[in-house]
Amino acid sequence: MTFEIQHLTAFYGKVQALHGLSLRVEPAQVHALLGRNGAGKSALLARIMGLLPAAQGRISWDGQDITHWPTPRVARAGIALVPETRDIFASLTVRENLTLAGRIGRGDWTIGRVAALFPNLSPRLATPAGMLSGGEQQMLAIGRALMTSPRLLLLDEPTEGLAAPMVATLQTALASLKAAGLAILLVEQNTRFALALADRVTLISRGATVWTGSPDDFADAQAVRARYLGA
Amino acid sequence: MLNTLQQAALLLLISSGLSVSMGLMGFANLAHGALYMLGAYIGIAVAAKAGFWAALLAAPLAVGLLGAALYLGLLARLRGPMQQVLASFGLVFIAVEVVRILWGDVALTLDRPALLSGSAAVLGVDYPIYRLFVILLGLVVGAGLWMGVHRSTLGAMLRASVENRGMARAIGIRTEALFLATFALGAALAGLGGAVAAPLYSANPGMAISALIPALIVTVIGGMGSITGAILGALIVAGIEVFGAALWPDASAVLIYAALAATLIWRPQGLLAVKARR
């Protein structure tokens, strides 16, 4: 169940967003992906899902080359995306958002289990998802991803715009998902949040990997942090 | 009043497919009126051999398949509204010529089936049974579409795909197959509309255009991509057509365009448009 990317490139139209990026996510680990705005983090997730067209390089998952797979097939293979913009289906109810994603799930995730993980959602199942608060939308976006029974979760800046209590709820939830065996590729600007969960840290800049190591090594690598994160 | 309902039922059959393909799929399909015309001609041809009820089944089936072939072969490959408008409008001319070659340039009619001929007293007036049948069909199709889109899983898949196609694909929805099926269904409804209209109005090659314009107006007034909007738009346009012709015949042709212009000024997205992203 290993996920590996080798020398990946990708383009937004004519603009190159990834320049030969390599990365590996081990089963049941949280891999934090850090980097400045525009470093190519969201482009990487979009490319993995097949939402950006394939260029060079290779994506392998569970022993299969999924580089050129269309998006629905990637999703059905157990990779789920929670985009930075959340992209919940605003005109559908919360329940419909979850049920639709559950169509390709294996049944290990039910609406009840999502509601147990995010209790804020349970009184709002019949509400149009567009009426939810930002934090609730984030929970729905994660719950929707979980309903597809993923084994790799791609999370794009989940704490962005959330109040502190919501961030704490999210951290507990993600820790329990990791404990349940889910691998997570976590893109974050909030370095503290990412390091609290991460087993491995990768720094990217201009669409390529510039540093990778353990969270402890990352804490010691002050020069790297200063250069690529300005912190 | 009944005429309004009957006209609205017919308009709904034609414009629901157009509304779905334009609003839900972002697809400017000007060939939709040609599909309606082909429905009428196929209906007449089948009725001559196998009777009215077979025609009512065969016309939507054949036009639906044709719609699917059209979508796969041509329309899905075109990107950008200009290409779609030009290509689908080109198809109108091709379809009209094909009809002229096969059936000639004369108006053809289809006899009403014995079961639906004659008239019945409704609210104190005699009203042709066939027109009542058209109203009933419109109600059934409208209710079926509304239930299908708003209450079924398939409908939820469609609404999700329209709102955000990329994200719908990311939760495993095969949007291409879904859009193909939806487009084919829209075409089939236009075909059904054509076959149903044939006994009321004679079939002629000009109907490819003359049916397209009110259907476009219904779609714009009702709001693209909304079944409820298509129903509402069909009622409004049919109401203006029927009552306008009765009360103010001189202006009736202009009234519909005035309603269209008013909609575009006050609510350019249509009365009940579905918001679509990407």
Check residues A142 and B226 and name the one with the higher pLDDT.
Answer: A142
C-beta of residue A178 within 8 angstroms of C-beta of residue A210:
no
Predicted pLDDT at B119: 77
Check residues B243 and A172 and name the one with the higher pLDDT.
Answer: A172
What's the mean pLDDT when you consider all of chain A?
94
Mean pLDDT of B100-109: 80
How does pLDDT run across B10-23, given as a tens digit for each residue? Answer: 888 888 778 777 76
Residues A212, B4: Cα–Cα separation, whole Å:
70
* H or E element in which residue B260 lies: helix B252-266
Query: How close is the nearest chain B Cα to the Cα of A227, in Å?
Result: 34
What's the mean pLDDT when you consider all of chain B?
83
Predicted pLDDT at B278: 37
Does B276 have pLDDT greater than 60?
A: no
Report the largest interatomic distance among the alpha carbons of chain B, rounded to a whole angstrom: 57
Predicted pLDDT at B61: 95
Predicted pLDDT at B25: 67
C-beta of residue A2 within 8 angstroms of C-beta of residue A27:
yes
- The tokens describing A220, both together, are 């010691």
Check residues B70 and A129 and name the one with the higher pLDDT.
Answer: A129
Check residues B197 and B266 and name the one with the higher pLDDT.
Answer: B197
What SS3 state is found at A129? helix
Check residues A217 and B202 and name the one with the higher pLDDT.
Answer: A217
Orientation of helix B32-50 relative to helix B81-103, angle to 10°? 30
How does pLDDT run across B251-262, given as a tens digit for each residue? Answer: 777 887 888 888
Does B277 have pLDDT greater than 60?
A: no
Identity of the residue in A49, A99, A147 whose CB atom sits nearest the CB atom of B170:
A49
Does A231 have pLDDT greater than 70?
A: no
Residues of chain A with Cβ-Cβ distance to B163 below 8 Å are: 89-92
C-beta of residue B237 within 8 angstroms of C-beta of residue B263:
no
Cβ distance B171 to A49 less than 8 Å, yes or no, reads: no
Mean pLDDT of A122-140: 95
C-beta of residue A14 within 8 angstroms of C-beta of residue A178:
no
Mean pLDDT of A163-168: 92
- The tokens describing B272, both together, are 């009940």
Residues of chain B with Cβ-Cβ distance to A87 below 8 Å are: 164, 166-167
Check residues B129 and A85 and name the one with the higher pLDDT.
Answer: A85
Mean pLDDT of B29-56: 88
Does A37 have pLDDT greater than 50?
A: yes
All structural domains of chain A with their residue ranges: 3-228
How does pLDDT run across A170-225, given as a tens digit for each residue? Answer: 999 999 999 999 999 999 999 999 999 999 999 999 999 999 999 999 988 888 88
Residue of B171, B227, B228 to mutate, interface with A, max A Cβ within 10 Å = B171
Cβ distance A99 to B172 less than 8 Å, yes or no, reads: no
How does pLDDT run across B57-72, given as a tens digit for each residue? Answer: 999 999 999 999 988 8
Does B275 have pLDDT greater than 60?
A: no
Of A148, A151, A150, residue with least CA distance to A28: A151
Does B273 have pLDDT greater than 80?
A: no
Q: What is the ipTM of this complex?
A: 0.93
- Assign a CATH topology to domain A3-228: Rossmann fold (3.40.50)
Q: What's the DSSP call for residue B203?
A: B
The residue in chain B having the minimum alpha-carbon distance to the alpha carbon of residue A99 is B153
Cβ distance B172 to A148 less than 8 Å, yes or no, reads: yes
